[in-house]
Amino acid sequence: MAAPLLAMMVGGCDGGGRADANTSALGVATDSSPEVRARQVLAQMTLAEKLTLIHGDGFCWPAGTDGWTAGVPRLGIPPTTYVGAGSGVTDVCLRDKLRPFNPAIPPGPATELPAPIARAASWSKAVANDAGKLLGRETRDKGYNVHIGGDVNLARDPRNGRTFEQFGEDPLLAGTLVVAEQRAVAEEGVINSVKHYVGNEAEAHRNESTSEIDERTLRELYLVPFEMAIRQGRVGTVMCSYNAVNGVAACENRYLLRQVLKGEWGFEGWVMSDWFATYSTVASANNGLDQEQPWGLFFGIPLALALGTGEVPLARVDDMVFRILRTMFASRVVDDPPVQRPIDTARGAGVARQIEEQGAVLLKNAGDHLPLDPAATASIAVIGAYADGADDGRNACPFKDDWCNTKGYAAGGGSSSVHPTVTVTPLAGIRARVPHARVEYASGRDIVEAARLARSSEIAIVFARDTESEGKDRVNLSLDEDADSLIEAVSRANPRTIVVLETGGPVTMPWLDHVPAVLEAWYPGQSAGAAIARLLFGDVSPSGRLPVTFPKSEADLPTAGSVAQWPGVLEQQGGRYRIDYAEGVFMGYRWYDERKIEPLFPFGYGLTYGAKFEYSDLRIESKGPSVMVQFRLRNGGTRTAVEVSQLYLGMPSPSPSVHQPPKWLRGFDRIELAAGEAREVSIELPERAFSYWDVEQKGWAVSPGCYEVMVGSSSRDVALRTGLSRGTLASCP
Ligand code: BGC
C-alpha cells in the first residue's frame, strides 16, 4: 500500500479527494449537482475502477476500521472507511494495538454514549440529534467517512441479543428517532446508514435463518422505520441483513431492494451487505445489492466474469457505481474529506451524561424513596455488577482487552463495542456527589458480605445487569448470575434498598415487591456514574419512558410457547431456520393490550420526581388531509419535570381478516413544565396515521369506521379519549 493512499484512508492528508476551487481532477465542475458529477466521473472510469468501488477490501487493516473500500485517486474519489455504530465510534479493531504498525491510524478511544435503547427511552428528537451530531463528528475526527449505525430492527422479542443496539418495539418511535439521529450524522459531513434491512430480529441463527413475515406486518411494523429514514433522514447507505425474508436472502431480495426501497421509496443511496451477508453474485447484483462488504468474494472477480457472460448487465454495475459516487458527492466526503484530529473528550463526556440523564427510566419509587437527600445521607453501600470498574470478566468483549472488562458499567458486545475516553464508574460518581458520606463497596459475589454491608449502611444501592451481544440471543430475561438472590438478600438486610438496572432491555424482577425504588439506567455509557448519581440525588429528575414492554415473565411474550416463533425451527429441506412472525402486528404493547396481559411495566411508562401531570380539553381539528389533536397539559406537582405525552389510535378493522390491536402509537411529544405551568399541546396526525396496509390493493388504505383517539402518559395510562369518524371528524356514536 503506497503511503499517500494509507494516509488518505485515515484522513492524514488532504486525500487527493479535495478538489480545486471549482474543478476536480479531469475537469469535473464541483459546483454541479451530485448527479451530474457522478455521471461525469462514471463516464471516465475504466471497468476495473468501477469494480473497485463495489466491494470492500478487508477489515481492520490498514485503516483500523470495520471495513474499507479503495477509491479511485486518479479521479479524485477517496476510499471509503466504515466505522460503527450505535454507541460511539467503535474500536473492534483495537486501533491502539495497530498504531505501532501504522501511525496514520487514529487512537482507539471515542465517546461511549448510552446505548440506542437508552436514547430511545428519552423519546426525544433533541437527544437523537445530539447523539447523531456526536457520532458524526467523532467519525470525522477519526478521519473516517462512513458511519454505519442506525440499527432500526424492532424489539420483537426482548431476548434478541441486539435489543440494546436498537430503538425499541414501536416503529413510529424508532423511525422518528433514527431520522433525527441520522440527519445529524449526515450534517456532520460523513455518510450515514440504517440497518439491518430487514427482519433481523434475532441473532442466534442470523446467517441461516428466514424471517417469515406476512406483508401487512412487514409494511405496518418492520419496514416503517426504514421507510421514515429513507424519506426524511438523508440516508446514504442501507445495510441489508444476514437473514432471508420469506425465503429470499435479504441482500438478494428483489421485492425488498428494487421494488420497495429503490422503487416505492425512491432511495438514491447505495445498498451494502452486512459483513459477509452477500451469498451470490448474479442474484445479488441483479436484484439490487450495490456493494459487497467486507470483501469482494462475490462482487470481485466473479462479478467481472458475470459481466463477461452477460448474466449481469454493465448497466447494473454502472448503477451501483453511480449510486456510490452520487452519495459521496452529496455528502462532504469528496470536497471536504475528514481530517484526523483529536476528539473533544470533555464535550463528549458531557453529551454522554446529559443523554443518560434523559434516557434513564424510574420504574418504581414507593413512598418517594428517591431522590436521596445528599445532606442527610451519611452512609451508602454500593453493591454489585462491578460498579467500581474492577475486572470481573462479565462485559461481553469481542476480544479480551483491558478497556473492555474494566469500564465499570454494562455495555453491549459485538461490532458496536466502544473503547471509552474517560469513564466515571457508579462508585466514583456517588462518592463524588456525597464526599462527606461513608460510601463502601461490595462486589456482591459474596451475598452474605454484601448483606452485612447493606445492614451497616443507611442506604443500599444494588447495581445489576444483563449481558447482551451481537451474534447470540439471551436464554431468558433474568438478570446476570445470581443478582436476583443478591437483591433479595440485600433488601432483607436493608429496607432502604435501591436497584439500579444496567440492562440492554427488559428483565424480570422477582424481588420487585421487596424494594422501594428501581431505576432502569440501560447500558449507560461512559458517564454512567456521574449521571446516575445526579439522578439518584435529584439534581435532575428522571424523564425516560420505556420504549419496550417489560413482561412479568417470558411466558407472556408474544412468541411464548411456540418454537416456530422463537427461536425458530430448522427446516427439513434447505437447512434454514424458519422464524415465523405468526404474531403478526400483535407485537410489543399491541400484544399485551390485545390479550389483556398485565405487563410488569408497560410501553411508554416512567415516573419522575414530584410531578403530577393533568390532561384536559381534548380537541380535534381538521388540517387539510391531516388531523390536529390538541389538549392541555399541566404540571400540578411540586417541581419542574418532563412529561412524554403519547397519542394512540384505536383503529377500526376494515374486515375480519384485518384485525386491529386496541392501540397504535401515532404521535408523542416530550414537554418540560415547571410546577404549576400549563401548556397547549398539538400533535398532527397525517393521513398515514389512519391507514392500514391493504394486502389486496397492495397499498395504504383508510378504513371507514370509528377511530378511538387516546392521549396519556403511557400505553396503559390513558387520560383523555374520544371517538372520531375519519371522514367527517364527527364524534363516533
Ligand atoms: C454487524 C453490523 C456491523 C458490521 C461491521 C456486522 O457483524 O451485523 O451491524 O455494521 O458487522 O462492523
Supply the DSSP string of 570-631, one letter for each residue: E-TTTTPEEEE-TTTT--THHHHHHTT---SB-TT--B-SS--EEEEEEEEEEETTEEEEEE
Q: Which distant-in-sequence residues (6+ apart) come within 8 Å of 164 by Cβ?
A: 86, 115, 116, 117, 412, 468, 504, 505, 522, 523
From 95, 241, 415, 472, mutation site for ligand 1 pocket: most ligand atoms within 8 A of C-beta? 415
**Closest atom of ligand 1 to CA, residue 414:** 7
Q: Give the long-range contacts of residues 37-44, CB within 8 A, separation 24 or more.
A: 37/325, 37/326, 37/329, 38/322, 38/325, 38/326, 38/329, 39/322, 41/72, 41/75, 41/76, 41/77, 41/325, 42/318, 42/321, 42/322, 42/325, 44/75
| 417 alpha carbon – ligand 1 mean position (Å) | 11
What residues are labeled active site?
Answer: 274
| 261 alpha carbon – ligand 1 mean position (Å) | 20
In short, whether 148's Cβ falls inside 6 Å of ligand 1 is yes
From 275, 291, 468, 469, mutation site for ligand 1 pocket: most ligand atoms within 8 A of C-beta? 275
Q: Which distant-in-sequence residues (6+ apart) come within 8 Å of 136 by Cβ?
A: 147, 184, 185, 186, 187, 188, 189, 190, 192
| 141 alpha carbon – ligand 1 mean position (Å) | 21
Instruction: In whole angstroms, give the CA distance from residue 709 to residue 306.
Output: 55
Q: Is the pLDDT of residue 22 over 90?
A: no
Give me the torsion for CA of 96, 102, 106, 110, rounded to 10°.
Answer: -20
Instruction: In whole angstroms, give the CA distance from residue 146 to residue 90.
Output: 12
Instruction: Give the pLDDT mean for 662-682.
Output: 98
Instruction: Give the pLDDT mean for 306-319.
Output: 98
What the block records as the C-alpha cell of 477 is 430475561
Q: Is the pLDDT of residue 727 over 70?
A: no
Cα distances from 252 to residues 50, 205, 241, 277, 294, in angstroms, run: 20, 18, 10, 10, 16
Q: Is the pLDDT of residue 127 over 80?
A: yes
**Closest atom of ligand 1 to CA, residue 66:** 12
SS3 476: coil
pLDDT, residue 3, reads 37
| 274 alpha carbon – ligand 1 mean position (Å) | 6
In short, whether 274's Cβ falls inside 6 Å of ligand 1 is yes
Residue located nearest, by CA, to atom 6 of ligand 1:
275
Three-state SS string over 90-105 comes to CCCCCHHHHCCCCCCC
Q: Is the pLDDT of residue 69 over 90?
A: yes
* Amino acid found at 725: S
DSSP 532-566: HHHHHTTSS------SS-B-SSGGGSTTTT-TTTT
pLDDT, residue 101, reads 97
Instruction: In whole angstroms, give the CA distance from residue 83 to residue 600.
Output: 37
Instruction: In whole angstroms, give the CA distance from residue 494 to residue 698.
Output: 60
Residue 2: pLDDT band by 50, 70, 90 thresholds? very low
pLDDT, residue 209, reads 96
In short, whether 66's Cβ falls inside 6 Å of ligand 1 is yes
In short, whether 195's Cβ falls inside 6 Å of ligand 1 is yes
Q: Is the pLDDT of residue 401 over 70?
A: no
From 135, 148, 185, mutation site for ligand 1 pocket: most ligand atoms within 8 A of C-beta? 148
In short, whether 85's Cβ falls inside 6 Å of ligand 1 is yes
pLDDT per residue as tens digits for the range 80-107: 999 987 899 999 999 999 999 999 999 9
Name the nearest CA neighbour of 522 among 606, 410, 383. 410
- pLDDT, mean over the chain: 93
Residue 307: pLDDT band by 50, 70, 90 thresholds? very high
**Closest atom of ligand 1 to CA, residue 67:** 5
Degrees (nearest 5) of the Cα angle 622, 626, 630? 60
Q: Is the Cβ–Cβ distance between 255 and 304 less than 8 Å?
A: no
Q: Is the pLDDT of residue 634 over 80?
A: yes
SS3 439: strand
Q: Is the pLDDT of residue 473 over 60?
A: yes
pLDDT, residue 20, reads 42
- Residue 596 burial (CB count, 10 A): 7
Q: Is the pLDDT of residue 723 over 70?
A: yes
| 403 alpha carbon – ligand 1 mean position (Å) | 20
pLDDT, residue 208, reads 94
Q: Is the pLDDT of residue 5 over 60?
A: no
Instruction: In whole angstroms, give the CA distance from residue 342 to residue 106.
Output: 9
